[in-house]
Amino acid sequence: MGDGIPGAADPRRSLPAVHRVLAAPALARLADVPPAMRREAAAAALARARRRLTAGEGPAPGPDELAAAAAADLEGRRRPSLRRVVNATGVVLHTNLGRAVLAPQAVAAAAEAASAYTNLEFDLGAGERGSRSAHVEELLCQLTGAEAAYVVNNNAGAVFLFLRAMAQGREVVVSRGELVEIGGSFRVPDVMAESGARLVEVGTTNRTHRADYERALGPETAGLFKAHPSNFRVRGFTAEVSPAELASLAHTHGLWAAMDLGSGLLVPAAGLDEPVVADLVASGLDAVMFSGDKLLGGPQCGVVAGRREVVERVRRHPLARALRVDKMTLAALAATLALYRDGRASEVPTLAMLSLGERELARRALALARALRRDLGGRAEVGVARHTSRAGGGSAPDAPLPTALVTVRPLAFSAHRLARRLRLGEPPVVARVWEDAVVVDPRTLLPGEARIVRERLRSALAEEGEGT
Ligand SMILES: *Cc1c(COP(=O)(O)O)cnc(C)c1O
């Protein structure tokens, strides 16, 4: 084909002019989009069509088709990058998907704090400057049994700040079995190194005894540190020193003992093999640190809870300013903690999802599968299978959370292609692929989302087999 000098029969000549594309309803409707942006999108759609025609693909599209493509483009570009997705993975605390979903009360509190002035650092009684962390400290103390608590940006920050304030330039003794890396490259030894504390490793990967810690003590020792091994378990011939033993050993030598709990489980949860914060505080540890957006089910933040004197040192450290939390986080955390205080922990979405029983999940899976068989015609094979969900967020890796999955096996193309289409639509649906099927775990679907999954599956399976 004579490129550049289109002949009389060149289909590119039948492409409409830009002004006709702009006048087509799909673009004309977008009156709130600046004219220059609309023109640019129309020109881009025309350029793409011209390239396709040059490659010998298909007939020339008309103005309506081009305007629709340009409008879809504009909508995609104006869509925020960070947006809601449907989590069909069954991983309740999915770090890549934003971990905990907040309770409505916490959402409302964060919105109110954001939309008006607040007494964030203002003591209304005294009419003078107050402390921002004070808004949640009393609740945290009440729920954990700690004398004092301080909140920072996340748990990694809490561990860092604690070590910086309590051990900079000195030694901290840790069991080798607890020097783990947590998803997202949080490594206990690295955080410790950055804090300026010197790590002294004791024991072996599978066994650490009281005598191992004892032998490591010296004039440079600041304290003894334990870390929850998170999503890692050592099984079989193992031994570790309990928090209570560690605390008693530390206190015998005039040292502190502290633990990074990872997940901050505030109340015992059925089926979860995770320590409850209050039990660890009661075991005599001087400080515990945990995340706000893991099993606690609140906003992203990190808590240091423990003896008053220790928490005060952390609070007064100059770097505390660099790790401070914002007002929306504090408002959401306070509202989440209030649910626990009021005996309404079951309304915290994270705990509600984790406590869903197998029977209820099977009921939801069967209902969704039945609807999908109607919706999807002969485009996919729909089934229900027993499987397990995961808590995620590095917590309770062993706890089996029995669930019922809906399996959708497309007939015209691969399950991976279907999963990709589900991710790329609006709203994106994130689902796992298992044995050639896209699988939907009803455990992590929020109210109303089963319907969205149905609609998205229907349109993803109706698209042509080619392309994305
Ligand atoms: C998740 C986790 C962290 C990091 O917590 P963030 O809130 O993500 O900063 C640290 N330690 C342990 C043991 C964890 O499980």
Ligand 1 within 6 A of CB of 329:
no
Instruction: Report pLDDT digits (tens) over 130-143.
Output: 888 899 999 999 99
Query: Cβ(260) to ligand 1 under 6 A?
Result: yes
Q: How far apart (Å, rounded) are the C-alpha atoms in residues 392 and 290?
A: 15
Residue 243 pLDDT level (bands cut at 50, 70, 90): very high
Whether residue 467 is predicted with pLDDT greater than 60 in this model: the reply is: no
- Residue 9 above 80 pLDDT? no
Query: Contact 436/418 with Cβ under 8 angstroms?
Result: no
Indicate the average pLDDT of the chain: 92
- For domain 104-347, give the fold: Aspartate Aminotransferase; domain 2 (3.40.640)
Is 90 exceeded by the pLDDT of residue 10? no
d(C-alpha 204, C-alpha 466), whole Å: 54
What is the pTM assigned to this prediction? Answer: 0.89
User: Is any ligand 1 atom within 6 A of the Cβ of residue 153?
Assistant: no
Q: What tokens does 231 get?
A: 């999503």
Please tell me the distance between residue 463's alpha carbon and the centre of ligand 1 in angstroms: 41
Domain ranges of the chain: 11-78, 86-94+353-462, 104-347
Average pLDDT over residues 405-428: 96
Side chain identity at residue 171, one-letter code:
E
User: Which of these CATH numbers, 3.90.1150.180, 3.40.50.2300, 3.50.50.60, 3.40.30.10, describes 86-94+353-462?
Assistant: 3.90.1150.180
**282 CA to middle of ligand 1, Å?**
21
Q: What is the pLDDT of residues 210-241, one digit of tens each?
A: 999 999 999 999 999 999 876 666 677 778 88
> How far is the C-alpha of 115 from the C-alpha of 120, rounded, in Å?
13
> Is the CB–ligand 1 distance for residue 182 below 6 Å?
yes
- Which of the four pLDDT bands, split at 50, 70 and 90, describes residue 2? very low
- 180 within ligand 1 shell (Cβ under 6 A): no
Please indicate whether residue 262, judged by its CB atom, sits closer than 6 Å to ligand 1.
Answer: yes
Q: Please report which confidence band the pLDDT of residue 1 belongs to, taking 50, 70 and 90 as the band edges.
A: very low
Locate the ligand 1 atom nearest the alpha carbon of residue 395 and give its number.
15
Q: Atom 2, ligand 1: which residue's CA is nearest?
A: 262
Question: How many whole angstroms separate alpha carbon 372 and alpha carbon 405?
Answer: 13
In angstroms, what is the span from residue 156 Cα to ligand 1's centroid?
6
Q: How many Cβ atoms are within 10 Å of 155's Cβ, its own excluded?
A: 27
394 in contact with ligand 1, CB cutoff 6 A: yes
Q: How far is the CA of 185 from the centre of ligand 1 (A)?
A: 10
Q: Tell me the best of 96, 151, 175, 182 to mutate to test the pocket of ligand 1, counting ligand atoms within 8 Å of each CB and taking the most.
A: 182
Residues in the chain: 468
pLDDT band at 76 (very low <50, low <70, confident <90, very high): confident
Residue of 151, 162, 260, 290 to test ligand 1 pocket, by largest number of atoms within 8 Å of CB: 260
Tokens of 269: 């949860």
Residue 242's contacts (CB-CB under 8 Å, 6 or more residues apart) are 283
Nearest-atom number in ligand 1 for the CA of 229 is: 13
Tell me the mean pLDDT in the region 60-75. 93
Is residue 151 a contact partner of residue 301, using CB atoms and an 8 Å limit? yes
Q: What is the 456 CA–ligand 1 centroid distance (Å)?
A: 34
Average pLDDT (166-184) is 86
**For residue range 445-459, what is the model confidence (pLDDT) as tens digits?**
999 999 999 999 999
User: In percent, how much of the chain has pLDDT > 70?
Assistant: 94
Looking at residue 274, what is its pLDDT?
A: 87
- Residue 93 contacts by C-beta under 8 Å, 6 or more apart in sequence? 99, 100, 263, 293, 294, 295, 350, 391, 392, 393, 395
Alpha carbons 341 and 208: distance in angstroms, whole number: 37
Task: Quick: pLDDT tens for 364-376.
Answer: 999 999 999 999 9
Cα 185 off chain centre by: 15
Q: Please say if the pLDDT value at position 465 is more than 60.
A: no
